[in-house]
Homo-oligomer: A and B are copies of this chain.
Amino acid sequence: MEDAVSTVRRARAGGRTRSKQAHQAVLAAAGDLLLELGYRQVTIEGIAERSGVAKSTIYRWWRSKGELVMEAYAGATALVVPEPDTGSLEQDLVALLANLYAAASQPSCALMLRGLMAEAQLDPDFAEAFQYWVRGRREVVAAVLRRGIQRAELPPNLDLTHAIDLVFGPFWYRLLVGHAPLDPADATAHATRLLRGLRG
Interface set of A (CB-CB < 8 Å, partner B): 38-40, 114-115, 117-123, 127, 130-131, 134-135, 138, 159, 161-162, 165-166, 168-174, 176-180, 186, 189-190, 193-194, 196-199
Bound CA–CA A199/B199 (angstroms):
13
Give this chain's copy count: 4
| A159 contacts across to B, CB distance below 8 A | 189
Bound CA–CA A172/B122 (angstroms):
16
| A198 contacts across to B, CB distance below 8 A | 193
| A131 contacts across to B, CB distance below 8 A | 177-179
Contact of A162 among B127, B177, B190 (CB under 8 A): B190
Contact of A122 among B39, B166, B186 (CB under 8 A): B39
Q: How far is the CB of A101 from chain B (nearest CB, A)?
A: 13
